[in-house]
Amino acid sequence: MTITKTPLEKGFEKVFTPLQDFIHDQTTCSLVLIICTISALTIANSPFAESYEAILKTPFGFVLGEWSFQMSLRHWINEGLMTFFFLLLGMEIKREILVGEIRVVQRLIPIISAALGGMLVPAVIYYLFNAGTFFAKGWGIPMATDTAFAVGILALLGKRIPQAAFTFLTALAIIDDLGAILVIAFFYSESISMPHLSVSVLLLGMLILCNICGIRRPVVYLIGGLLAWAAMLGSGIHATVAGILVAITVPARPKQEPFWFVRKTNSLIRKFEDIEKSKDDETPLLGEATQHAVVEEVQNAAEKTTTPLRRWERALEHPVALLVLPIFALANAGISLNMQVISNLWNETLAVGVILGLIIGKGIGIPFFTWLALRLNLGHLPPSINIYHIVGIGFLGGMGFTMSIFISNLGFENMPETLMTAKTGILIASFIAGVSGYLWLKKFSFVGPVSSG
């Protein structure tokens, strides 16, 4: 039976298909983040600035009699919504460790070396400028890399960049972010409440037990994760860490083996063909309940043969990229800018430490530690990239935006002027790092086998 499409449907597909391609494009998240960042900056430097801040400080929550649970809108975004970002990040880390690039020792060591250099050197540079001052507690700010921005800039270079460079940068950013998460957990948490922490650990243990028992229903992990998040919120450890810990419990084993799927789907396809041959040609699929049932069985078989880890990761990718991170940018990138503030930044050791830590620290630390690992024969790069690519990746690593702003919020909460200084430094450094990485890779990058020594 030939399916006839209406003119409106054909016209809609002409619009919708490019939109789907746009959403799948690596540069999309970066573009949306840029738009939201510019929007936040515009609002913060407009007559609507006070209203913008007032909305973000508005308390929201639940009240039941004398019991209440409320946080400001900004806190709900930073400690609630961003948990989904950390959940996705945790699942990416788990997948990479199990089956990704960072499980291959010879490829892993240079990436770990690059990540260590990209964390240690920026932190040291920042600390050198701020040692002995109150600002020293912000040493974690220049350690992080914004994966969305960095990969987005890399994607702008198109075919000039080998696929291995994307893999290296993504794996580097994942390890980098894991380091930042550990820093948040151990150095940017408040005094610990053991009862709350014990409840959170108990809930996470129950989710691990569910995994071991083969329970794969999303609702179980969603409810358990929400309860663990609430307990973590009261523990003194930043609540978003719960996202990472819940990700560890997500099942990574399929319910059925691949050959079961082959046998099952072959049988269902034959059944579908038999129904198609026997039915009236004019009967639409909508009116053929048995064929619909067969298609649904194929979907169920596919679900049983894939892993919850990969399915849930894919389900979260676009909501996090196109909703969570942009909302975070809108809520946190709004800083008041003027030439006097920018010119005075170089007199602020906090800003200098952030800017030089992200640009110089990442730009030197990532390629130098990678080169050191190669010189010591501790591993090797993929054949299609060389140290010139790693230098460009080092510059792009200086785009700390999301995680750097997140850590600055933790380090200088309730200190608006200090926080504004840190955020301004992050924005300036991220812009310079992105432009530098793009120009470097445009000049020195090429596709093809090259020496990595």
Identify the band that residue 19 occupies on the pLDDT scale cut at 50, 70 and 90: very low
> Which is more confident, 278 or 360?
360
Nearest to 330 by CA among 34, 80, 59: 34
For 370: left if phi > 0, alpha if psi spans -120 to 50, otherwise beta; the answer is alpha
pLDDT tens digit string along 397-417?
999 888 888 889 888 888 888
Does pLDDT of 6 surpass 70?
Answer: no
Q: What is the pTM of this model?
A: 0.75
191: Cβ contacts below 8 Å, ≥ 6 apart: 236
Q: Are 309 and 94 in contact (CB under 8 A)?
A: yes
- The runs of H, that is alpha helices, within 320-415 are 325-332, 339-344, 349-356, 362-375, 387-396, 401-411
Residue 284: per-residue pLDDT: 62
pLDDT tens digit string along 28-76?
777 888 899 899 989 988 999 899 989 998 988 877 777 777 888 988 9
Q: What SS3 class is residue 385?
A: coil
The CATH superfamily label for domain 105-189+336-453 reads: Na+/H+ antiporter like domain (1.20.1530.10)
In the chain, domain spans: 105-189+336-453, 258-305
Does pLDDT of 282 surpass 70?
Answer: no
Cα 121 from Cα 406, distance rounded (Å): 20
